[in-house]
Chains A and B, each alone.
Chain A
Amino acid sequence: DTAVSQTPKYLVTQMGNDKSIKCEQNLGHDTMYWYKQDSKKFLKIMFSYNNKELIINETVPNRFSPKSPDKAHLNLHINSLELGDSAVYFCASSQGPQPQHFGDGTRLSIL
């Protein structure tokens, strides 16, 4: 019973391609997030959605487009992938200001 699940776990692709990462939570939470963890393990917020509404967009290039079809899902589409996009992307969810629960990450490698 995974609370926050992301697919795929690994994503290897070439520069210039477009890819999507999916996230689903079964906790009934109303807020979902995308974080990026770089090679030095630093975690930084990218986006936040509350009840399908975009709340946070932290100066992320517009090649990154989140989409929340419903409260339980938050997907991340990335256009024209660049080498610097290589990282681990984590989805998280919370019920309002309560502690956030994280998925196990998607490891994106750009060749």
Chain B
Amino acid sequence: GQQLNQSPQSMFIQEGEDVSMNCTSSSIFNTWLWYKQDPGEGPVLLIALYKAGELTSNGRLTAQFGITRKDSFLNISASIPSDVGIYFCAGQQSGGSNYKLTFGKGTLLTVNP
């Protein structure tokens, strides 16, 4: 089946530092999504990307849809303690009514105050 390679698997950073994580795939996706999951909760959508080359920001977060449609990255600038959590990339291939998401394995982010 399809697989997304997400890296890094985990990151330990100091408050105020910038963070970058990425996802690559062997398959083309029509949509790339980035989610954050806090302990005991479900994934929450951060950014959605719909076009190859698209660069989208949401506050301190910036994500890009790769030109080849096989990769995406997420940057977090000036990290703060509440950025702690697991970040997931997800790719979606829309065909008919099949909108399933294929998830990366997540990046666990720890921010030291």
Contacts and interface: CB of A to CB of B under 8 A. Distances in A.
Interface residues of A, number: 28
Given A42-B105, A55-B97, A90 B43 contact: yes
Most buried by B among A35, A40, A99: A99
Contacts of B101: 35, 43, 45, 100
Contacts of A40: 105
A92 B44 CA distance: 11
A99 B99 CA distance: 9
A69 interface: no
Contacts of A58: 100
Nearest to A45: B100
Interface stretch (A13-21, A60-68, A70-78, A102-110): A102-110
